[in-house]
Structures are given as C-alpha cells and as structure tokens.
C-alpha cells in the first residue's frame, strides 16, 4: 500500500469519525431537548392541578388561618397530589420550587414555579430596568441529568421559559429574558400582609429585593 492509499484511507476514517461524532452529538441534544420538554409539560400539568385545586380549597401555598403552613414544596405537593388521587413524592423525586404567599396582583411575568436547580434567592420580588442584564444563579444538581444542563421557569400567566446553564448558555439566564423585560415591585404587595417567598424541596427561601 503506497502513501497515497494510506492517506486516502486515513482521511476517509477521520471523515467518518467526524460525521459519527456530529450524529451522536445531535442525538444527545435531541434527547436532552425531549427530556426538557417532558419536564416542561409536567410543570404545566402542575400549574393546572393548582388551578383546579382552587375549587377544592387547594390553592397556592400561603400562611393563612385554618390552613396548612407548608414548610417545603414537597409538603405542598403531597397535599395537592392527595386531592388529585396521585402518589406521594419524596424530596429527591420533587424537582419543583413553588411561590408562597403570592400576591393576587402579581404581574404576569412573575415566576410562580421553577425547577429546583435555580437558586430561588436569585428570583426577584422587585425588578428594575437596571437589573435586566443580571442573571439568575443555579444550585448544584446531583440527580437528573437534564437539570445539569437546563432549568425551567413558569410565569404567572402560564408561559414557560427554558434557561440554559452556564457557561455555554449564560445569555439565556438574564432577567431581561426570564422576566420579559418588564419591571415590577412586589415588596409592598404581600398576600395577607405576609412576605412572598419560595418553597423548595428542602425548605423556604426569600428571594432578592436589591
């Protein structure tokens, strides 16, 4: 075999390897996108369960007399799922962070639900024009692979937005994109005089106001 033949074989092998790598990467991206879509759908289902619960007394979690004071989103979901005839979830199975004490006049772009890999401290109760270039921050995820790459937020109006985790997708995590470039201030608009917070699978967190 002469050098030209060896070169041709080597070049062909490299070309095949390159196409195979591109194909595998495409399959991986499609799988990630499909998985993200599944959890996006699950989030919309959860919002629908909460809306349906308004007729049966299972509303957004809030501290009110005569109702359960939920200490985590897992507590709230298990009460909600019981009313819906669904099985209980554990903290590890629960991927949701849910707003607590939501004001009735919250704007449509307010985040009411998010996946657990978003740090709820970085969600906003007050958003100004000067905040728009800033970004949410993320929590370490040791479980679901999709949450190591993507996060999902759900706004009060029912729309959702997929946020890519840094460093590759940092541009998707700006407040401008997450909150649709619409300022608001909920620091003085509290449900029943109580501060707005977020319930995570592990507890309760107060978001940023500065």
Q: Evaluate whether residue 210 is within a structural domain.
A: no
Residues 45-72 have pLDDT tens digits of: 888 888 776 555 557 888 765 565 789 9
Give percent above pLDDT 70 in the chain: 74
Query: Which pTM value belongs to this model?
Result: 0.78
Whether omega before 167 lies within 30 degrees of 0, making that bond cis, reads yes
Q: Evaluate whether residue 187 is within a structural domain.
A: yes
Task: Supply the pLDDT for residue 86.
Answer: 87
Boundaries of domain holding 149: 3-205
Q: Evaluate whether residue 109 is within a structural domain.
A: yes
Strands of the sheet containing 111-115, edge to edge, are 160-164, 150-155, 111-115, 96-100, 197-200, 203-205
Among 143, 128, 126, 142, CA closest to 188: 126
DSSP state of 187: T
User: 16 pLDDT band (50/70/90 cuts)?
Assistant: very low
pLDDT for residue 194 is more than 80: no
Q: Evaluate whether residue 139 is within a structural domain.
A: yes
Residue 38, both tokens? 């599944």
> What is the DSSP pairing of strand 184-185 with strand 126-127?
antiparallel
Residues 132-153 have pLDDT tens digits of: 999 999 999 888 788 888 899 9
Within a 10 A sphere around the Cβ of 97, how many other Cβ atoms?
A: 28
CA 14 to chain centre: 40
């Amino acid at each position: 075999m002469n050098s030209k033949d060896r070169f041709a074989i080597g070049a062909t092998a490299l070309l095949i390897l390159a196409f195979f790598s591109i194909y595998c990467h495409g399959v991986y991206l499609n799988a990630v996108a499909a998985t993200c879509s599944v959890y996006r759908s699950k989030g919309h289902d959860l919002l629908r369960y909460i809306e349906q619960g308004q007729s049966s007394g299972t509303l957004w979690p809030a501290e009110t007399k005569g109702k359960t004071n939920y200490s985590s989103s897992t507590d709230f979901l298990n009460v909600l799922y019981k009313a819906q005839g669904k099985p209980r979830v554990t903290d590890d199975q629960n991927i949701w962070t849910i707003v607590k004490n939501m004001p009735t006049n919250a704007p449509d772009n307010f985040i009411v639900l998010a996946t657990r890999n978003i740090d709820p401290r970085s969600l906003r109760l007050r958003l100004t024009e000067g905040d728009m270039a800033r970004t949410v921050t993320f929590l370490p995820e040791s479980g679901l692979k999709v949450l190591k790459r993507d996060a999902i937020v759900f706004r009060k109006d029912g729309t959702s937005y997929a946020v890519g985790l840094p460093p590759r997708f940092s541009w998707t995590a700006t407040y401008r994109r997450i909150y649709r470039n619409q300022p608001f201030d909920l620091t003085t608009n509290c449900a029943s005089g109580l501060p707005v917070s977020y319930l995570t699978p592990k507890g309760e967190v107060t978001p940023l106001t500065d």
